Amino acid sequence: EAGVVQSPRYKIIEKKQPVAFWCNPISGHNTLYWYRQNLGQGPELLIRYENEEAVDDSQLPKDRFSAERLKGVDSTLKIQPAELGDSAVYLCASSSYFVSPDTQYFGPGTRLTVL
């Protein structure tokens, strides 16, 4: 079974530039999560999708961050414009309500550096 796929793995941009991250969850997983992990910290949830609906986006900085999950499968997280403080690892995870709703499966993450 293929795991959660994320791309790109690394991204270096200058501040004020836009950036986008892509995630392909495990096949059949209806729940998708985006987390941000700052250096030396644990992941913090940005947004959670149930199928194509964003059910928890309370931690998403909506002035510059946006996300979408078309057709309830792949998802894209965008930052525009990026700021220096956005440098972090962005992790995508998925879970299946029907198999094991409490267990999240993580992708390798995208390490973003904003210069």
CA-based angle 103:57:17, to the nearest 5?
Answer: 110
- In the complex, the smallest distance separating the C-beta of residue 37 from other proteins, rounded to whole angstroms, is 8
CA-based angle 15:76:16, to the nearest 5?
Answer: 10
Site for other proteins (CB under 8 A): which residue of 13, 45, 54, 73? 45
Q: Which residues contact 95 (CB under 8 A, 6 or more apart)?
A: 29, 31, 33, 101, 102, 103, 104, 105
Q: Does 71 bind other proteins (CB under 8 A)?
A: no
Q: Do the beta carbons of residue 22 and residue 74 sit within 8 Å?
A: yes
- Pick the stretch among 19-27, 67-75, 77-85, 103-111 that binds other proteins (CB under 8 A): 103-111
Q: Does 44 bind other proteins (CB under 8 A)?
A: yes
Q: Which residues contact 63 (CB under 8 A, 6 or more apart)?
A: none
Q: Does 85 bind other proteins (CB under 8 A)?
A: no
Q: Does 53 bind other proteins (CB under 8 A)?
A: no
- In the complex, the smallest distance separating the C-beta of residue 93 from other proteins, rounded to whole angstroms, is 8
Q: Does 54 bind other proteins (CB under 8 A)?
A: no
Judged by the rule CB under 8 A, the positions of this chain that interact with other proteins are 4, 31, 40-45, 48, 56, 91, 93, 95, 101-109, 111
